[in-house]
Structure formats: C-alpha cells, structure tokens
Chain A
Amino acid sequence: MKNQILGVLIASGLTLLGCTKNSTSENANEIKIGEFGAMTGPEATFGQSTDKAIRLALDAVNAAGGVNGKKIRLITEDDQGKTDEAAAVVKKLITQDQVVAILGEVASSRSRAAASIAQQFKIPMITPSSTNPEVTRGKDYVFRVCFIDPFQGSVLAQFAVKNLKAKKVAVLKDLKSDYSLGLTEFFMKKYKELGGKITSVQNYQAGDTDFKAQLTDIRGEKPDVLFIPGYYTDVGLIARQAKQLGLKAVMLGGDGWDSPKLFEIGGAAIQGAYFSTHYTTSSPDEDTQKFIKAYKEKYNEIPDSLAALGYDAALILVDALKNAKDLSAAEIRDAIAKTKDFKGVTGKITIDADHNADKNAVVVQVEGNELKFVTSIGR
C-alpha cells in the first residue's frame, strides 16, 4: 500500500517534470533584456516599484515600434532580497536566457554581487538606484543613472548642519548593507569636516526586530539628530521603538527610506523625519508630471523615486540600443557610456567617466502619508 502511494507520487512528479521541459521559444525578432530585483522579501517595494516603471517604459517603447523594428522582451527574476540569490539569478539570466543587457537593482549589496558577475561575463548592466560607489568601480560594463553615496552623504551632512542646526549626531547603521556602511562613512566624513560631533555609531542587522538596546544607549547621549542610513522596513521599526523610549532626536536618513510602506511601518513615529532622495512628485518638469500621470493611471499609485529611476534606466538602455552599431555587448556598452544630457524624469542624466550620473539630491520630510519637498542640493 505504502509503495503504491509512493509510486503514484513519483509518477505524477515525473509527469510534472515532463510538462516543464518546454523551453521558452526563441525569437530572432526580439531583444531580450534581463531584469532582477527584490520582488519579495523585506525590501519588496524596491523591486516592485522599479519593475512597474520599467514595464511602463518598455511597453511604451514596444507600442511605438520597438528598437529598430525589434520588440523588447523583458525577463524578470526575483532575488528575494538575498545577495547570493542575486548573483545566482544574474548568472541564470546571462547563461540560460542569454540577455543582451541587464537592468537592476536597488540595493547596493545585491547590485554589487550581480555587477561582478555581469563584468565577468561581459554583459552590460545598468543599475537604476544603487548608490554605493563600489558597484561601478573598476567595471567597464556596469553603469548607474543615479548619484553616488559620497555625494549623498555630503548632502545629508550639509543639511544636518545648515537646516537642522545639529551639533551632535548619533548614527545607527545596518551592518548587512554596503549602502548603509558606505553612506555612513561619507556622511561622517563631511559632518566632521563641518565641525559636527558624532556621539556614537551603533549597529543593527537588516531583519532585526529589537533595537531597544542600541536606542537606549543613544538616548543617554542626547543627540540632536539620529542618522539612520538604512532601508525602510527596519527604519520604520526603529522609529517606533525610538519614540517608545522617548528619544527626542530628529531622524534623518537616505534614499533607502523611499517607499510607500514607510508610512505604514513607521506610523506616527516617523512623522516629521527627513531623508534625501532622487526626485519629488512636486517637480515642475513637464516630462516628470507626464510620467507620474501615466504611472498613476496604470498602477493606481504614485511612483516613488525608485520607480522614476527605473523608468529612466530603461529608457537610457533603449536609447543606447537604438544608437549602438549592433547588438554586441561591447557596442551596447559604448553606446550607454556616451549618454549625454539625456532628459529623464529624474533630471538631466549624463554618464560620466566613472559610469555614474551627476544629479541633484532632493531632501523631503514625512508629512502624513506623503513626502513634503524641503530643499534641493546640488554639487
């Protein structure tokens, strides 16, 4: 009896396997672009926002005839928010799906892991929102369309000193993320240059739920500002616990906070906090407003800066594909590198010699369920 049940199970398993043997059909009239991101996991809104915007852009391109007559096919992979999974799916995109270029990711640690794979296999990769300089350093096949953390850290330090008049800052950084560590380093450097005092640097790990120990220590130091260069899920919880402990410091952060879920997770505790990001929905630019309208119509939500950057990255890639002499990796890479004054929804984008983009940063404040524009800071 037992063996019979087992036999049936094995047989059904094998049939299932047989059904899945159909490999995806090849089409010479298509250009395959790979995309990877965190569609699930603690930073799921990053991947989902970027993906939605990229699809919006590519659908529009395909509707207008594609690139030189060929339609673009987007193959998306979920890295589940894990760094080793990011490396694995990018390898799969390159070796099995044989994409000509890759778009992704938001989190710098995952982009960095994927970038070294893309560089190894010599496939061009554009990250829309990763800000850590290591992602593109020394890799001629990897590009980004956003600013980098040395700039962002400096912007935040200036904001802390000039706008928040902060004399003492405590830092609570995420040990698991390149982004957090890098941003901390650059912020601290500029802040100390401007004469500020760092009271302490505490650590947590992404995914922790209890920060009371670190926050208790910080509370004792009575800082003016608490700098939390992390991702929105943890930041929301940290804010709640800080308020529970009666911590009075103003909270400041970077673009990792940018997510519609920040308001939900942070609740009342995150109100009034400030963070830097890549664009603001109140921008007067016409293209930006058109993008926001189209995104709202299709997805019924307001695009965050990750979506805006995803949109720009996709369109820059398409632009490069159109300008490239052929679809070989080296030609696409050169075409991307030549991008100059591209009019994106997050501003004018020029890819510099380090494969990074030189743009302004925008500082916003959390007000209700929205972000209020405070100031824009350039180089």
Chain B
Amino acid sequence: MALLKSAFFQLLLFSLLLAAVSKGLLNPYQQLILTYVAINVILATSLNLVNGCCGQFSLGHAGFMAIGAYVSGMLSFYLHPFSGALQFLNFPLYAVAAGAAAGVAGLLVGIPSLRLRGDYLAIVTLGFGEIIRVILLNMESVGGARGLYGIVGPQNLFVGSVVAFFMAGATWTILWRLTQSSYGRAFLSVREDEVASECMGVNTTRTKVFAFVVSSFFAGVGGSLFAHTTNYLNPSSFQFMKSVDVVIMVVLGGMGSMTGAVMAALIVTILPEALRPLQEYTGLDLRMVIYSLCLILLMILRPQGLLGTREWKDLWIWWKQRRRA
C-alpha cells in the first residue's frame, strides 16, 4: 500500500497514462509537441523558483539549459550502460548528470552575481548566459558553430513521451515540495523584503544562491531532455531569445505561481504551432509579432499574469466558493 502512495510510483503511473492517452488521440507530430511542452514546463517551473518565489530577476536561464543539453549529449556518446529494451533508463541518468553540471555552473555564476540587485542582476545573468553560449560556440570538441549531430533519443515516441512526462512530473513534485518547506518560506521572505529577512536571521545570500543552484539544476535537466528530443544541438538555440521565452512563460503564468508556470508553458508551446496555418495563409511569419504584442499588453493590462501568486489549491477553493454563492 505504501508503494502505491509513494510519489515515485504515482509519477510513473501518471506518465504512462498521459503518454498512452496522447498516443491514442494525437498524431506523431502532436505527441512531439507535448514532449516540448514537458521541456518547457521544467524550464518554466525552475525559473519561477528564482524569479517568482525568490524575487531575483534572472535572464540567463538559456545558458544553464545549454550546459545541461551539451553535457547530456556528449555523455550519451560515450556512456550507455543500458541498451535494448531498457535503453530508456539511460535518460534519467543523463538528466541527473546534466543537472549536476548546470547546478555547478549556477553556483559559479550565482555567487558573484547575487550580490547585485534588480536591473543589475538581470544584466549580469544575461551576460553569463551569452558567455556560456559563446564558449560553446568556440568549443570544437562539442561541434562549435556547426553544432552537435546525431544525439541518440529514446527508441520510440511513446517511450520518449513517458520519459518526458516523468521528468516534468518529478521536477514539479520536487519544486512544489521545496516551496512548501521552510526553504520555500525563506525564498518568499527574501522576495518580500531582503533587509527585513536578514534582520530576522535568514541568510539571504545563501538562500538566493540555493534557489539559483536548484533552478539551474532543473534548467540542465530540461536541456538534457531537449537534446535527446531534437537529436541535434546548436549554440544558436540557446540565445537570449530562449531566456526571454522562459521569462515570458513565468510572467504569463504569474510570477511565483507554479501552477501558473505550467499553464503558461502549455500555452506558450502550443500557441506558435496553432498559429502556423496563419503563416501559410498570409505568407508572413506573424507568430512572433503576436507573441510580443501579447507580452506588452499583458504587462500593461494584467501584470500579475494569469494566476498571480495563486496555486491550484487556491483555484479549487475559488471554484468551490463560486459554486456555493
């Protein structure tokens, strides 16, 4: 019985179910899109930890994603302990390694940067993100400017979906538990008033760095999934635009809301695909124009995003209250 209640088992069941349902209802391309949704969920929830819960504005998420992606890709060339039917077990391994590498990078970047506030932190993280990209661009051993070809992926789309959903679910669970814990309280206090929390005995620097490292870890995990889904890596996929994409997801969902981040990841991934026919009709690629216009309007009309700082529990309560009224 305890097994059934364990998070691991529930996650596994959830991933299998979701993958089976999507396989039944959707065509292969749409299943692929759902895998991208999973990747974006991982990225959005991890950035939400730093930007939303901790109130530190980081614009360098793409850099950590890149580190995770490249580490995972390179590792998959040299190390594959499982093969055949169990090949899918390789990917969690790569993901953890990728996350660890990205986490270390997060530590190195975070310690000097997190002394700065607001705009300055944003600029520095932007700078680090770009430096990571340029370093990867110049490393011939990982393909440099031409990119890394032929990275292995899961043996078929179904297995790939299961792995992706499992990782997204695991990320959500871990981050959710973190925000509900005393660490989560520390993040929130730093967000609300740094000076006051320092006075109350919260080591703000340590808290901020911790949030940053955890966020980078999961960015690396997201990058690893990205590498094995697209089978090809190029530093140009990790430019500033990618960081902005993830920021848009966090802002749209509501900075500080994990549920919002998931919803926003869903919307942001599916919207360009849904708008693709528009491109065929008009001959112009208006998707990004609509995208950016939505961002501006969002900030002017509803800056708290879709959910503000509310989570699914709050939505549930709100729904029940409405029903009662």
Q: How far is it, in angstroms, between the C-alpha of A320 and the C-alpha of B72 when the chains are bound?
A: 40
Query: Would you give the 0/1 interface string for A1-34, flagging 1 where the beta carbon is closer than 8 Å to chain B?
Result: 0110110010000001100101000000000000
Contact across chains for A83 and B274 when beta carbons are under 8 A apart: no
Chain A proximity of B135: nearest CB distance (Å): 14
Contact across chains for B230 and A205 when beta carbons are under 8 A apart: no
Pick out which of these stretches binds chain A: B26-34, B188-196, B315-323: B26-34
Query: Would you give the 0/1 interface string for B147-164, flagging 1 where the beta carbon is closer than 8 Å to chain A?
Result: 101100000000000000
Q: How far is it, in angstroms, between the C-alpha of A9 and the C-alpha of B290 when the chains are bound?
A: 12
Contact across chains for A175 and B144 when beta carbons are under 8 A apart: yes
Contact across chains for B274 and A17 when beta carbons are under 8 A apart: yes
- Of the four ranges (under 10, 10 to 19, 20 to 34, 35 or more), the interface on chain A belongs to 20 to 34
Contact across chains for A92 and B232 when beta carbons are under 8 A apart: no
Partner of B150, one of A78, A95, A116, A175: A116
Q: Which single residue of chain B is at the shortest CB-CB distance from A91?
A: B32
Q: List chain B residues, Cβ under 8 A from A83.
A: 146-147, 232, 234, 236
B301 at the interface (CB under 8 A from A): yes
Contact across chains for A9 and B230 when beta carbons are under 8 A apart: no
Contact across chains for A95 and B27 when beta carbons are under 8 A apart: yes
Partner of B146, one of A5, A16, A17, A178: A178
Contact across chains for B278 and A84 when beta carbons are under 8 A apart: no
A307 at the interface (CB under 8 A from B): no
Chain B proximity of A330: nearest CB distance (Å): 19
Query: Would you give the 0/1 interface string for B295-313, flagging 1 where the beta carbon is closer than 8 Å to chain A?
Result: 0010001100000000000
B231 at the interface (CB under 8 A from A): yes
Q: Which single residue of chain A is at the shortest CB-CB distance from B31?
A: A95
For chain B, residues 210 to 238, give those with C-beta under 8 angstroms from any C-beta of chain A: 230-234, 236-237
Contact across chains for A116 and B232 when beta carbons are under 8 A apart: yes
Q: How far is it, in angstroms, between the C-alpha of A68 and the C-alpha of B285 when the chains are bound?
A: 36
The 9 closest A-B pairs by CB, nearest first: A96-B29, A176-B145, A95-B29, A20-B277, A95-B28, A87-B232, A84-B237, A175-B145, A2-B301
Contacts A/B (CB < 8 Å), 21 sampled = A9-B294, A16-B275, A16-B278, A20-B275, A20-B276, A20-B278, A78-B285, A83-B236, A84-B236, A88-B230, A91-B29, A95-B27, A96-B27, A96-B28, A112-B149, A113-B232, A116-B150, A117-B232, A120-B231, A176-B145, A177-B145
Q: A78-B285, A112-B146 are in contact. List 16 more A-B contacts (CB 8 A).
A: A6-B301, A82-B234, A82-B236, A83-B236, A84-B147, A84-B230, A88-B230, A91-B29, A91-B32, A95-B27, A96-B29, A109-B146, A109-B147, A113-B147, A116-B150, A178-B146
